[in-house]
A and B are shown apart, each in its own frame.
Chain A
Amino acid sequence: MAEPLLSIEELVVDYGRIRALKGISLSVGQGELVAVIGSNGAGKTTMMKTISGLLKPTSGRVMFDGKPLTGVPAHRVVKLGVAQVPEGRRVFAQQTVRDNLVLGAFLRLRSGQKREVAEDTERMFSIFPRLRERQDQLAGTLSGGEQQMLAIARALLSRPKLLLLDEPSMGLAPVIIDEVFALIERLKAARDTTLLLVEQLAFRALEVADRAYVIEQGSIKLAGSAKELLANPSVQQAYLGAAATH
């Protein structure tokens, strides 16, 4: 494989005295969709927050596009081309849908790409017609699914090379989860954004991913192509029993 776009090497992250990540390594190649599956509290969100610069690792490093991300503050990581859709969506509830999109394009607007951003916003509205209808509404008044779409559109407006999707299915009804995963599939098919997806719904994630890692209690337990992991008996037993019923 060519030089990966993102590589994580022996990453250790502590919350006070609790070790959340115990030295994990993984890589994501250009244009790939890689999923990280695992149960609640396994360290998935910690990993995402460390990549995006919200958390500082105790040791180990994160390399992106040939440059180290470790120690780079979150607002600079975005500039390098990494966007995160945070767990729980975290839309700016008290601002309008349109303002949320403006904030997603904050750096581009500050560097004078007004026209390009307007075009991209128009494209987002054609992908998500509901957002166009509700552009003047406060984001906090949207349904959970609409908020998730807004959070994804907002992240895409920074034109990231790498999009981090943290638990996009959280708290959503199964029908809406279908929509979210259809969108992820569409992003994957376009192949101009590399995707790192963290999910508790292992079956859903393995269905769309190229490759996947299984994370348990802060360590990577298994890695392989999504197909291999879907067929792996221990994965089936631990993660797919409940998830497959969705």
Chain B
Amino acid sequence: MQTLQLLISGVAQGMIYALVAFGYNITFATSKTLNFSLGNFLMLGGVVGFILYMTHNWPFFAALAAVVLVGMVGGAVLLKVAVEPSLNQRSAYGWILATLAVGIVLRNAAEVFWSTDDFKFRSPLGDSPWRFFGEPQPDGSMSGGLGVYPQEVLIIFVSLAIVAAVELFKRRTVFGKAVVAVSEDKDTASLMGIDQKFVILFSFMLSTAIATVGGVLVAPITLVSATMGTVLGVKAYSASIIGGLESGFGVVVGGLFLGVSESLTARFVSTGYKDVPGFVVLVLLLLFKPSGLFGRAAIRKV
């Protein structure tokens, strides 16, 4: 029972890694750049959500909509201000520093203009755990058995829904197919009449919007702070390397693996070692299968 509870917490944490990793995957596919500020976009989502929902008492869905909007605008600004200029300068890796810099600017801005403290974020579904299989008490409540935070359930379902929606969009819609075409071959995609710049802009806006939603989702579990995204961004990056950066399905598996291994290690070994299994697997994969578990070699025939 306890293991099941740990698994659920691990899966919830893992889905957050998976969401951010999925964001890395989306922009990497279309632009071949990685947006290293994604962890701090998650923080931005958490902080903006906190200010609107907790401080100003907006309805939850209004706050969430505003967060999505902030994420989309943020992604567009990031692309225009940081990524495009460094791509135009023919510096092969300028975008690494540029996106890292945007992340640092976001974090410092949150510290300067908002707060350096940690805050509690109330879950829209309530903060007392749902109990299953417990002993009913005379007053109607339950004790023992399996306790699950409603927010964990929300995280799992919303994240899966986001990933499934994006994957369906890529496979089923004409514009989605155009996004995949740009990922595969930009020049040929533009010979089909596809505006590759627009597709890349779209992919940045989508990935940052997903990350900001991730911030609102994870906030009730981790607390909100200006630094909440820093480590998360790095771990999500590990998740995407483990799963294979090129594979939308792979990054989800990578995220789940990290989340579950953390929660099981924290309980059965020591919280101090909770990051070890994930990083050991990361190093092993980098040594023996650098394309990741689900990274595939492209089919190419000439």
Contact = CB atoms under 8 A, between A and B. Distances in A.
B178 interface: yes
A74 B190 contact: yes
Contacts of B127: none
Among B180, B188, B299, the most chain A Cβ lie within 10 Å of the Cβ of B188
B190 A92 contact: no
B180 A78 contact: no
A: interface residue count bin: 35 or more
Contacts of A88: 302
Given A90-B185, A90-B188, A158-B193, A140 B301 contact: yes
A109 B174 contact: yes
B88 to A, nearest CB: 14
B191 A86 contact: yes
Given A99-B177, A103-B194, A106-B178, A94 B187 contact: no
B178 A54 contact: no
B184 A95 contact: yes
Given A84-B191, A103-B192, A95 B181 contact: yes
Nearest to A140: B299
Contact of A74 (B177, B191, B299, B302): B191
Contact of A86 (B188, B193, B196, B301): B188
B269 interface: no
Nearest to A52: B191
Nearest to B185: A90
Interface string A114-147: 0000000000000000000000001011101001
B195 interface: yes
B300 interface: yes
A83 B191 CA distance: 7
A78 B192 contact: yes
A54 B174 contact: no
Contacts of B175: 110
Interface of B: 174-175, 177-178, 180-181, 184-185, 187-196, 298-302
Given A83-B191, A90-B188, A109-B174, 14 more contacts: A74-B190, A74-B191, A75-B192, A78-B191, A78-B192, A86-B187, A94-B180, A94-B299, A106-B194, A107-B192, A140-B299, A140-B301, A155-B191, A171-B302
9 contacts: A74-B191, A79-B193, A86-B191, A92-B188, A93-B301, A94-B180, A102-B174, A103-B192, A155-B191
